[in-house]
Amino acid sequence: MSLPYFEINGGPRLRGKVRVGGAKNAALPIMAATILCEGEVLLHDVPDVADVASLGELLMKLGVNVDRRGDGTLRLVARDEMNCRAEYDIVRKMRASICVLGPLVAKRHMAQVSMPGGCAIGDRPVDIHIRALKNLGAEIELIGGDIIAKAKRLRGREMFLGGPFGSTVLGTGNAMMAASLAEGTTVIEMAACEPEVVDLANFLNRCGASITGQGTPRVVVEGVKELHGCEYTIIPDRIEAGTFMVASAITNGEVTIENCRLDHLMAFVDRLAAIGVNVEKAPEGGAVVSSARRLEPVDVTTQPFPGFPTDLQAQMMALLCLAEGNSIITEKIFPDRYLHVAELNRMGARLRKEGPTVIVEGVKRLVGAPVMASDLRASAALVLAGLAARGTTRIHRVYHLDRGYARFDEKLRALGADIQRKEGDEVL
């Protein structure tokens, strides 16, 4: 079967400016939230990535008109239709489809959403999403692999949304969206504090919701009767920004990253500084990233925000492969999110996985090889490794990358990388 792949000739030092797009993980729940709104919603800076297109398709089926304008703006208008079913075909492709659950129950009083299964980054249960909606008074059954939720009117309540690992990002989103149209006050304890959750709350408030405490573990939602449309700009994608920071550092380059919020990347920038990578605020906003000759090894543990993001773990591992000494990476959000380890080892890395931890023994150089992308962030890590490797790296299954990075190859090429998107048979 002919599929797109990337061919990278490693070596060129990246230089120049790159603009980061709007955050995929903010755009997806905000798009789902438009189910709650009466009237037109205009969303600016929605990234042109496959996951956004998939959710757009699902929303169309659920009765929301979705049009993309050339300037990156999405126009969404909810119709009065009663299709409340998100089928397995689409949920299987994109787990974030679960964020239509809360809005459908709150607005249409009924939702049938296929249970997302596991994925390449491990088991991904949705028990807390279900708990949140039950707390608000929804009746929930699991039938034939579907979650069926019904409620005449949701009622606000106090609820604890933590799990053994910490908080849940989309679970908090679902609870906030549903509580916005519930009767009375909802208090969410152990809410996720990620910037994407804050962006969703800010969007809902712009539509007439009453949410306070976003960005802290205690979020309070006063239910309102209805939400209206609005115009809103999605926050910059901190994970795309972090990925370009590593691209600059791993090629010993100097890249200015525009539309980048350093306050959303403090733990990541702290680790980069410890490695010897220089990250400075650019005079006109954004950041300039330049690298030291020698990369120091560091230890990294992924954690909920403001800790080190799991979505940058794979990219950081690619960089640490080239540090002078041993680093330890521990994954506390998705303990199995390590499919890139075997692929990086194919490129000459020395990585050893011990449970949720990987010991990274720094090597002098990586060597180009054919490798297989397995999930979105793992694919990005392989591209980064390829940029620094000696020789040619072919990365197969780049459709994983296209789910969350818009024109990644083009943006890298504009910075001087030797990367081509090609089509061909998958040979490994």
Residues carrying an active site annotation: 119
Q: What is the 3-state secondary structure (H, E, C) of the chain?
A: CEEEEEEEECCCCCEEEEECCECHHHHHHHHHHHHHEECEEEEECCCCCHHHHHHHHHHHHHCEEEEECCCCCEEEEECCCCCCEECHHHHHHCHHHHHHHHHHHHHHCEEEEECCCCECCECCCCHHHHHHHHHCCCEEEEECCEEEEECCCCECCEEECCECCECCHHHHHHHHHHHHCCECEEEEECCCCCHHHHHHHHHHHHCCCEEECCCCCEEEEECCCCEECCEEECCECHHHHHHHHHHHHHCCCEEEEECCCHHHCHHHHHHHHHHCEEEEECCCCCEEEEECCCCCCCEEEECCCCCECHHHHHHHHHHHCCCCCEEEEECCCCCCCCCHHHHHHHCCCEEEEECCEEEEECCCCCECCEEECCCHHHHHHHHHHHHHCECEEEEECCHHHHCCCCCHHHHHHHCCCEEEEEEEECCC
Which lies closer to ligand EPU via its Cβ, residue 98 or residue 182? 98
Which lies closer to ligand EPU via its Cβ, residue 178 or residue 322? 178
By CB under 6 A, is residue 311 in contact with ligand EPU? yes
Which stretch, 37-45, 160-168, 272-280, 321-329, contacts ligand EPU (CB under 6 A)? 160-168
By CB under 6 A, is residue 118 in contact with ligand EPU? no
Which stretch, 127-135, 261-269, 271-279, 293-301, contacts ligand EPU (CB under 6 A)? 127-135
Which stretch, 65-73, 122-130, 138-146, 182-190, contacts ligand EPU (CB under 6 A)? 122-130
Of 170, 257, 275, 319, the residue at the interface with ligand EPU (CB under 6 A) is: 170
Binding mask 182-221 for ligand EPU (x = CB under 6 A): ----------x---x-------------------------
Of 128, 133, 221, 385, the residue at the interface with ligand EPU (CB under 6 A) is: 128
- Cβ 283 to ligand EPU, closest distance in Å? 30
Of 14, 32, 126, 277, the residue at the interface with ligand EPU (CB under 6 A) is: 126
By CB under 6 A, is residue 377 in contact with ligand EPU? yes
Which stretch, 57-65, 162-170, 200-208, 293-301, contacts ligand EPU (CB under 6 A)? 162-170
Of 232, 334, 338, 408, the residue at the interface with ligand EPU (CB under 6 A) is: 334
Which lies closer to ligand EPU via its Cβ, residue 196 or residue 409? 196
By CB under 6 A, is residue 117 in contact with ligand EPU? no
Binding site for ligand EPU (CB under 6 A): 25, 28, 96, 124-129, 163, 165, 168-171, 192, 196, 310-311, 333-334, 376-377, 404
